[in-house]
Amino acid sequence: MTVLPIATFPSKRPNEVVPDADVIVIGAGPAGISAAVELASAGIHVIVLDMQPAPGGQIFRALEANLAARPGTDNLLAALGPTYNAGQALIHRFRATSGIDYRPNTTVWDLRADGTVGWLKGETAGYLRARHVVVANGAMERPVPFPGWTLPGVITAGALQTLIKASRLQPEGRIVIVGTGPLIFLIADQLRRLGVRPTLIARTDRIQDKIAALPKIHWAGIPALLKGLNWVARLKIAGIPIRTGVSDLKAHGSDRVETVSMTIAGRKLELPCDLLVVHDGIVPSTDLAHCAGVALEWQAADSSWHPRTSLDGQAELAPGPAFTSGPCRIRISGDARRIGGADAAIAHGRHAARAILAELEHTTNPRGKSVANLSAAAVRSAMAARPFIDAAFPPGLAGQVPDDETIVCRCEEITAGSLRAAIREGATDMNLVRGLLRCGMGPCQGRSCAVTLARILAEANTQKPTTPVPFRARPPLRPLPLGALANLTGLHPELAQVELLEDKPEAVMQGNDHA
């Protein structure tokens, strides 16, 4: 690729802050890595901020460390399979590309549309600025509260994968996997390879879902579908029980999960359980985009919000008050934009990077357009399997709202019944409920409870259905030590001048201790 003569910044104008980099990439998963490599290979100065200690993201988590520890990790690498090991070449290229300023163990706690990024590493925090920001912070598992979900021994499939990859831990005892989506087959097959036999794989999806999804199969998505069929076949050959159409999941126990119950084909099943692994699909992680003021669209069929972007990831700002003015300098890439998996994230990271290169170069030459068209086609091809997957594995555990006794907000231990009581007394807005009950004010800042509260509000407003609007986002998105806040570096005076937003809720619940 031709090196572009644009890696230096223009002369500083009065009252102008000189950017710290051409591009800041947030996240070093498949999308972030591919975007950074594409940009740096073209001579662009790139800073990569990564919350993790090493590149790879969730899919390729701890891959470098596990490869370096061979032969002691040979069995682990074999169990995790080719999907995991495929990240080796990508990470190696990332490490070998000059011009990438990689900063691991760095948390982003603020993001603004003008390219300003608040960072935290240890007890040190500050601000960085760039002409463009690529948000590639990936996805999260859809939070689904159910009775007993807070018991020790109940974890998500992603958490189990993290323990296996990063800590090299192997679960023991009676393991029950419940949920939907390709990930439950992958994690079950990885456990099988490790010599761990799940007691039951209980799927909320049904055969009817697969039949209804058949018209959505695209030829470009067939390899991904064959991979999933291969996982299922190996599990069945191993004799691991798989049931479909599961509902009414409950975990039971005193100090930890002891049994799990569910309904299958109209009959209640209860069985002993030492580890309950749940998964109801993954959704974009939108907290950074939301903090920056990017417009979010509610996907009712998916029970989640998605950022509004163009195909190349250019974000669209939501109307209303904002912390900054001027054009939006944010592009959202990979699973943070649309769920597609590693291959799609790699393709989209490259596509977003090329769009930034074209903008920085101010070029409209035919070759640039041809490259952009090719990268856009690669994204579409990599995403070809998603329509079938989305239809074949609809949300299951999220199919019904939790009962009154179930905790929705884990940080503040707020039940669904408390939320419904607030709604009945007039709190019909997400922010109003938050102000009254502190739902969404804990360390997760609503990442685990916002979707469920939106579903409960929709349940209460059936006569006047409205599109759920998420909590108003404000920094810090993650816990920020006071010492770090008091000694911020790179703080521009304009950042300290925040316009007051009149959003403090009125107390509508007389006599409520939280009001």
Instruction: CATH number of the domain at 315, please.
Output: 3.50.50.60
Both 259 and 310 in a single domain? Answer: no
Both 317 and 195 in a single domain? Answer: no
Both 33 and 52 in a single domain? Answer: yes
494 pLDDT band, cuts 50/70/90, is: low
The closest of 268, 354, 359, 267 to 312, measured between CA atoms, is: 354
Read off φ and ψ for residue 41, nearest 5 degrees: -65, -20
Weakest mean pLDDT among 33-37, 225-229, 406-410? 225-229
CB within 8 A of 257, min separation 6: which ones?
148, 151, 152, 153, 154, 251, 273, 274, 275, 276
Q: Quick check: is 214 in a domain? A: yes
Rounded-to-integer distance, Cα 255 and Cα 248, Å: 22
Q: What is the pLDDT of residue 5?
A: 36
Weakest mean pLDDT among 118-122, 140-144, 258-262? 140-144
Both 93 and 159 in a single domain? Answer: no
User: Model pTM?
Assistant: 0.90
Show the CA angle centred on residue 306, arms to residues 37 and 388, nearest 5°. 85
Both 354 and 452 in a single domain? Answer: no
Predicted confidence (pLDDT) per residue in 70-120, tens digit: 999 999 999 999 989 999 999 999 999 999 999 999 999 999 999 999 999
Both 316 and 208 in a single domain? Answer: no
Q: Look at residues 363, 381, 416 and tell me which one is the last residue of a structural domain.
A: 363
Q: Quick check: is 505 in a domain? A: no
Q: Quick check: is 6 in a domain? A: no
Both 442 and 347 in a single domain? Answer: no
C-alpha radius of gyration, the chain, whole number:
23
Both 153 and 110 in a single domain? Answer: no
Q: Quick check: is 374 in a domain? A: no
The closest of 399, 404, 441 to 419, measured between CA atoms, is: 404
For residues 24 and 117, is the Cβ–Cβ distance under 8 A?
Answer: yes
Q: Quick check: is 385 in a domain? A: no
Q: Quick check: is 508 in a domain? A: no
Predicted confidence (pLDDT) per residue in 366-385, tens digit: 555 667 778 889 999 999 99
Q: Look at residues 250, 280, 310 and tell me which one is the last residue of a structural domain.
A: 280
Q: Name the average pLDDT for the chain.
A: 88
- Cα 207 to the chain's mean position, in Å? 28
Q: Look at residues 245, 280, 315 and tell me which one is the last residue of a structural domain.
A: 280
15 pLDDT band, cuts 50/70/90, is: low
Distances (CA, A) of 467 to 199, 294, 436, 450: 40, 16, 21, 14
* Structural domain count of the chain: 3
- Cα 476 to the chain's mean position, in Å? 18
**Dihedral sign of CA atoms 347, 352, 355, 357 in order:** negative
Read off φ and ψ for residue 126, nearest 5 degrees: -175, -165
Question: What pairs with residue 275 in β-bridges?
Answer: 175
Which SS3 state, helix, strand or coil, does residue 337 take?
coil
Both 148 and 253 in a single domain? Answer: yes
Q: Quick check: is 12 in a domain? A: no
Q: Is residue 316 scored above 60 in pLDDT?
A: yes
Weakest mean pLDDT among 7-11, 446-450, 452-456? 7-11
Rounded-to-integer distance, Cα 142 and Cα 448, Å: 8
Which SS3 state, helix, strand or coil, does residue 154 take?
strand
DSSP annotation string for 251-310: EE-SSS--EEEEEETTEEEEEE-SEEEEEE-EEE--HHHHHTTB-EEEEGGGTEEEE-B-
Both 154 and 266 in a single domain? Answer: yes
Both 136 and 175 in a single domain? Answer: no
Both 161 and 84 in a single domain? Answer: no
- Token pair, residue 240, equals 């691991």
The residue segments making up the domain with residue 64 are 21-140+283-363
Distances (CA, A) of 254 to 257, 404, 427: 7, 19, 34
| Distance from the first to the final alpha carbon of the chain | 60
Weakest mean pLDDT among 31-45, 64-78, 148-162, 320-334? 320-334
What is the domain-level CATH number for residue 470?
Answer: 1.10.10.1100
Predicted confidence (pLDDT) per residue in 274-314, tens digit: 999 999 999 999 999 999 999 999 988 888 899 999 999 99
- Token pair, residue 144, equals 């689904």
Q: Quick check: is 511 in a domain? A: no
For residues 193 and 231, is the Cβ–Cβ distance under 8 A?
Answer: no
